[in-house]
Structure 1
Amino acid sequence: MAQERSDDDLMLAVAVARRHYEQGQAKTDIAEALGISRFKVARLLDLALESGVVRIEIVEPEPRGGGLADELMDRFGLTRCAVVPMSSTAPEVRGEVGAAAARLLGDTVREGDVLGLPWSRTVHDMVYALESLPKVPIVQLSGALATTREDSSAVDLVRRAGRIAGGGRQVFFAPLLMPDAAAAHAVRRDAAVSDTLASAGDVTVAMVGVGAWGPGGSTIYDMLDEECRNEITDQGVVGEAVGTCFDADGRLVTTCLSERLIALGPEQLRDIPQVIAIAHGPGKVAAVRAAMAGGLISGLVTTHDTARTLLG
């Protein structure tokens, strides 16, 4: 008798599952139509899942997936692109963008590559979403920002990614921004700093953030004194990546900031074969568009609304 009841329940579970999953009927409507309680409907749906009558599959989009990603690649000549299907103002956007960047990086890096990582909020989110990497060496591309709200520095990011990849790492302990050119020159003479920054020339893939030149759009902008900030603005700078400043056409601009940075140089950044930017939000559009126009980045991870604005 128990087997008969089980078979009957399973057949009823099939009927309930078809109504709920295929026809979109609510549980209360199914209960009324079949003359059973809504609690039994819920139990039958659970039985359908447990018995394999219903199988739920979650399919993540490919790193390049989506028409917007393809359009961005075609329009701006990108080699890699991922568009997260959500607004840049969504509460969970940072985690989702970081996870998409981690997937895209995993799809891009191969054994034989050298991965370069600076500090940025978006790179932080990506590194903390990483689950696996090929066995590649990782090079730190910038010094640390002393006033960040994240619980990591550039050294922490490279170390964490290095543990995942297992291919070795090069790090140095120094701030990103020094008070003047003389202090920066002294720091660059340190062997660990000079050797690591020289190794930036070996980097084949870099993940970077793009800062918009304005309040809240760039961590570096917010750290600078007003005089230097205004001078850079007057030079037509619209954005920066790892401290490298560029104008609306993507041309590199030498500024009062240039000699104060402990980071790879602008030409080193330009020479990296694949530079993938992680950036989103309306305030970043002009900077991202300029970076693409100037060939400073070859890949992009962004959000749905940002992608539409870039294409518009």
Structure 2
Amino acid sequence: MTLTPTEHVLLARVARHYYLEDRSKSDIADELGISRFRVARLLDTARREGVVSIRIESPTGYDTELSMRLQQMFGLAHAVVVTAEDDEPDTLRALLGRVTAEVLHGVVTRDDVLGLAWARSLRGIAHEGAKPLAPCPVVQLTGALSGPDGSDVLDLVRRVAKASNGVPHVFYAPLVAPDAASARSLRRQPEVMRAAALAEQVTVAVVGVGAWEPELSTIYDMVDPVARRRTGELGAIGEISGALIDRDGNALEAPLTRRIIGVTGDQLRHVDTVISVAYGPAKAPALLAALRGGLVNGVVTHAGLARALLDVAAEAGLDEAGVRSGRVR
């Protein structure tokens, strides 16, 4: 479109009033003695002719474009992708834990029951300076594994509850028992039974994601070679804070399953909001399986894993509708 100098000036004047001075179309029309509809057409022309350009910048530390792509592809209520200059696991774990705390601050209400599973990536949720959550019960969803700093899921549950004036519900048991008989005995302990009953009432849960490969799952690394091999042969692609899953996100029944003390895949599917915290591009197939199987409907991750997740979804031939259908069964 060829514009006269007068039209260029008019476009610029209308655009300045509207975009920079935040004036209404009606006010602009009154001042310039033209109709409101002409103002609207002039604004459209200003965009089309490049007089006005709009650029959306991501806040520092976040990749909003990738976040929106994950939301759209997987139908997620919560998807936050962070940018990280350092991809070292310890750095990512601390960063993702802090961001997850911010997400929970905006999600959890006093009417919720918050469940926290064991995962190294969750330790940073209760970092110093974190905003307190709405006071609500905080439930331990899995047995414990201690981190290098001595922290474990019991410590995490207690700190989150204390900071929010909520009530912690913890139990003393390992995440993986030596054998199925020991696990059965542990599950009969009163505090474990109370926590298991409360787990059925959880409305918001936070879990970690592990791939069934060396150094990509603490559970994989801690169990004996026979259990690793047998679980892999039965189709395990990953674990969601101890809940073993196959490539389609189905709960996997394996001898190792009977040794794990914690929330199951079937239980996670009935929780309103399940936020997964994951790092490392190699975990993309496991995270995709969790999404397809409806175990999680929220993701906090970093750009490297987000891109890998979109890539493996494309390689699997999944479009938006196909992936989104997996959450509700």
Give the Å deviation of 1:60: 8.8
Q: Which amino acid aligns with 2:131?
A: E
Q: Give 1:203's aligned residue.
A: 202
CA distance in structure 1 between the aligned counterparts of 2:131 and 2:151, rounded to whole angstroms: 18
CA 1:255 to 1:150, structure 2 compared with 1: closer, same or farther past 3 Å? farther
1:189 and 2:188 correspond: yes
* Contact kept in structure 2, 1:64 and 1:80, CA below 8 Å: no
SS at match of 1:174: coil
SS at match of 2:237: strand
| TM-score for both structures, normalised by structure 1 | 0.77
Deviation sequence 1:209-250 (CA, Å, 0-9, x none): 001111111111111111111011111211101211111111
CA distance in structure 1 between the aligned counterparts of 2:62 and 2:113, rounded to whole angstroms: 22
CA 1:74 to 1:88, structure 2 compared with 1: closer, same or farther past 3 Å? farther
Q: Give 2:144's aligned residue.
A: 144
Q: Give 1:22's aligned residue.
A: none
CA distance in structure 2 between the aligned counterparts of 1:196 and 1:214, rounded to whole angstroms: 30
Give the Å deviation of 1:204: 0.3
SS at match of 2:251: coil
* Contact kept in structure 1, 2:61 and 2:82, CA below 8 Å: no
Q: CA RMSD in A?
A: 2.0
* Contact kept in structure 2, 1:87 and 1:303, CA below 8 Å: no
CA distance in structure 1 between the aligned counterparts of 2:61 and 2:111, rounded to whole angstroms: 21
CA distance in structure 2 between the aligned counterparts of 1:61 and 1:132, rounded to whole angstroms: 23
* Contact kept in structure 2, 1:84 and 1:303, CA below 8 Å: yes
Q: Give 1:21's aligned residue.
A: none
Q: Give 2:252's aligned residue.
A: 253
CA 1:123 to 1:264, structure 2 compared with 1: closer, same or farther past 3 Å? same
SS at match of 1:257: helix
CA distance in structure 2 between the aligned counterparts of 1:62 and 1:202, rounded to whole angstroms: 37
| TM-score for both structures, normalised by structure 2 | 0.73
CA distance in structure 2 between the aligned counterparts of 1:61 and 1:182, rounded to whole angstroms: 51
- Residues 1-312 of structure 1 mapped to structure 2, 5 A cutoff: 61=59, 66-86=64-84, 89-90=87-88, 92-128=91-127, 130-146=130-146, 148-312=147-311
Aligned residues, how many? 253
* Contact kept in structure 2, 1:63 and 1:100, CA below 8 Å: no
SS at match of 1:75: helix
Deviates more, 1:164-173 or 1:94-103: 94-103
* Contact kept in structure 1, 2:204 and 2:272, CA below 8 Å: yes
Give the Å deviation of 1:200: 0.2
Give the Å deviation of 1:93: 2.7
CA distance in structure 1 between the aligned counterparts of 2:299 and 2:62, rounded to whole angstroms: 10
Q: Give 1:18's aligned residue.
A: none
Give the Å deviation of 1:304: 1.1
Deviation sequence 1:67-101 (CA, Å, 0-9, x none): 11111011011110111012572573332222111
Q: Which amino acid aligns with 1:74?
A: Q
Deviation sequence 1:223-282 (CA, Å, 0-9, x none): 111111101111121110121111111111111111111112332122111110000111
* Contact kept in structure 2, 1:87 and 1:304, CA below 8 Å: no
Q: Which amino acid aligns with 2:288?
A: R
CA 1:79 to 1:194, structure 2 compared with 1: closer, same or farther past 3 Å? same
* Contact kept in structure 1, 2:135 and 2:166, CA below 8 Å: yes
Unaligned residue ranges in structure 2 (runs of 5+):
1-56, 312-329
CA distance in structure 2 between the aligned counterparts of 1:88 and 1:297, rounded to whole angstroms: 26
Unaligned residue ranges in structure 1 (runs of 5+):
1-58
